[in-house]
Structure 1
Amino acid sequence: MAPGQHRVERIEYDPGRSAHIALLSIKEGNKINYSYIVASDGLRAGQQIESFRSGIPERLIKELGDTSDAGLLATKTCHPGNCLPLHMVPPGTAVFNVGKAKHGPAKFCRSAGTYATVIGKNEGDAKWADFVDVKLKSGEVLHIQKDCCCTIGIASNVDYNHRQLGKAGRSRWLGIRPTVRGVAMNASDHPHGGGRGKSKGNRNPVSPWGILTKGGYKTRKKSKVNRYVVKARPRSESKKAKKAKKLKKNK
């Protein structure tokens, strides 16, 4: 979204994404320019939203009495649909369309109903002073540059995960093909195939090409750890580990 005040013309459906999109208009001289953004939940036609990508405008500083108090600034800027750099967002605010680079596009929380939470500014830490801590929907906490932009609110169409496709044909339109269990195939078609009954021959779960599928095949080297990850997202546990944890809890 270009810097400045925009008017929401209408909310539209986008067949290429799960969230809705908003058509914006901005007057520049004698010309009206149009652009699209991912709509925030609750955004309606006729509303005014603003982008602060290029910083705080002079009219807003004068309106606040030539002060740059963070609390007063947040009351004027942190409204759903507004685009702000992360360092202008107060901790605890829900944001989406979070960028990864200063002038780059949004990378995190772009699908329907998703959001991230700004949880810290690292002002007391010299090493990470230029970064803001953001907690993603998965539970992962990341260091993201403070000049990266985000949109205030939650991505629209929050009930998307409750939709019912209704028939197998609609799944095929979405590119979802039928899934067949490996144990139901012939031995020549899958490593789990063949034999009598539903047995996979006491073998660890593998893909049709023989690669371990349940946490056994690691793809990231230990030397290539992402240093921007403060807290990794919770990983799925095996049935055995879940059962052991449940028994320990009941004791």
Structure 2
Amino acid sequence: MSLQSVIQGLGRLSLRCPTVTTRSLHTSQCSFRHLDSHVVPINKLPSSRNRRWVPTEKPLKVHGYTVKPIRLPSNGGRGPNGRIWNFRRGGGLPQYLRMVDWTRGGPSQGKPKEEKVLEIIPDRRMRSADLALVAAGEKKRYIVATQNMKVGDVIKSSQELTQLAVSAREGDSYPLGSLPIGTVVNCIQRFPGLHGRVSCAAGTSGQLIRKIGEKCVVRMPSKREMIVFNTCVATVGRVSNINHNQRVIGKAGANRWMGIRPKSGRWHRKTGRFGRKLRAIRKAVVYDQPPKPKPKTRRATGISLNIYRR
């Protein structure tokens, strides 16, 4: 090899260091993972153990509306990403879902819809209030039972807004503008046409105190007021099972039946040294604009009991 060819070969060599990116310095993808355990992993792989990565559909979409109790899967305190979110969940007796119709419905004009109460069912595994199985013709559905509702009662449901106040009985469903002032109501709609969201738990209720034009003011047990449209539908009466807050668990095994695992064991005595604060009543809540649609996210549905409740 001549000296000239050697010089040409050395000229082609580059003495510059190759560009090194920050991503190439990582030996694994640990740095790119989310540290929040509640975030769904990017690659959702199926698991043959309990199919924790497979999103579950709502029973209403799978089965349609039915009065037959549906067995619910146990999530064991795990979130939709398969990791434990709540360490005090696990075991317990089987849970069965009964689909509750939170919209009483009824015609907007004419004679109200009449239904007969066939059965009063306690549903302690899913909710605190009792359920009433009602039927009209060949259709049956579950609704939230009121305090004095009995088997054989005939309840009415209507969405007609009348100028004169109607004489509604307990269990009937009418718009707030059609009810007389002072009526005790439950399962109150925040916006017309939506589900009854307010005062649905055991023993809860609200009271219609005044009407202002096209709005109605409902006072809650906490003395706070709620202002909604007069076309919002509510059920007359108080929700059943009023002694729910006075129940006695009795033993630790009763909590295990409900799927509640024990605490860590550390106990803090509450001495009441600092007393309590007397807070002023907050301003009235005004529902005058319909809710905005929620943005879509990448979060998986997962096995969560909250999606079955309403």
**Do Structure 1 and Structure 2 share a fold, with TM-score over 0.5?**
yes
The corresponding residue for 1:170 is 254
Q: 2:220 aligns with which of 136, 155, 169?
A: 136
Alignment RMSD (CA, Å): 2.7
Structure 2 CA distance, aligned partners of 1:143 and 1:97? 15
AA aligned opposite 2:159: R
| Partner residue of 2:159 out of 53, 64, 88 | 53
1:98 aligns with 2:185: no
SS at match of 2:185: strand
Identical positions, percent: 28
Task: Quickly say closer, same or farther: Cα 1:181–1:141, change in 2 above 3 A.
Answer: farther
- Mark the structure with the bigger radius of gyration: 2
- Higher RCO (CA < 8 A, seq sep 6+): 2
Q: Please state whether the residue corresponding to 1:40 is helix, strand or coil.
A: coil
Question: What is the distance in 2 between the residues matched to 1:113 and 1:227?
Answer: 22
Counterparts of 1:75-224 in structure 2, within 5 Å, are 75=167, 78-122=168-212, 129-179=213-263
Q: How big is the shift at 1:90?
A: 1.2
Secondary structure, aligned partner of 1:17: coil
Asked if 1:39 is matched to 2:145, the reply is yes
Shift of 1:169: 2.3
Q: Sort the Cα spacing of 1:137 and 1:33 in 2 relative to 1 into closer, same or farther, 3 A.
A: same
Spell out, residue by residue over 1:163-192, the C-alpha distance to the aligned partner (whole angstroms, 9 max, x if none): 1111112224435454559897xxxxxxxx
- Take 1:148 and 1:16, find their aligned partners in 2: how far apart are those partners? 26
AA matched with 2:114? Q
Residue in 2 aligned with 1:12? 121
1:153 counterpart letter in structure 2: G
CA contact (8 A) 2:121 2:132 kept: yes
Equivalent-residue separation in structure 2 for 1:159 and 1:136 (angstroms): 18
Other-structure match for 1:26: 136
**What is the letter of the counterpart of residue 140 of structure 2?**
Y
Whole-angstrom CA distance in 2 between matches of 1:20 and 1:168:
24
SS at match of 1:158: coil
Structure 1 residues 95-121: Cα deviation after superposition (integer angstroms, max 9, x where no partner): 111111111001111011110000110
Quick one: which amino acid aligns to residue 10 of structure 1? E
CA distance in 2 between counterparts of 1:183 and 1:165 reads 18
Deviation by residue 1:1-36 (Cα, 9 ceiling, x = unmatched): 242000001101112110101001002xxxx10011
CA 1:227/1:16 → structure 2, altered by over 3 Å: closer, same or farther? closer
User: Which structure 1 segments of 5+ residues have no match?
Assistant: 57-67, 123-128, 185-197, 199-213, 216-224, 230-251
Q: Which has the higher helix share?
A: 1
Report deviation, 1:227.
5.7
Other-structure match for 2:286: 228
Normalised by the length of structure 1, the TM-score is 0.59
Number of residue pairs the alignment of both structures matches: 166
Counterparts of 1:227 and 1:143, CA distance in 2: 6
Gaps of 5+ in 2: 1-103, 107-112, 270-275, 278-282, 288-310
Structure 2 counterpart SS, 1:121: strand
2:224/2:284 contact within 8 Å kept: no
CA distance in 2, matches of 1:141, 1:103: 21
How far 1:155 sits from its partner (Å)?
0.2
- Which AA in structure 2 matches 1:46? G
* 1:25–1:164 distance in 2 versus 1, CA, 3 Å: same
Distance in 1 between residues matched to 2:117 and 2:247, nearest whole Å: 27
Separation in 2 of the partners of 1:183 and 1:37?
A: 40
2:156·2:173 contact (CA, 8 Å) conserved in 1?
A: yes
Could you tell me how far apart the structure 2 residues matched to 1:86 and 1:165 are?
38
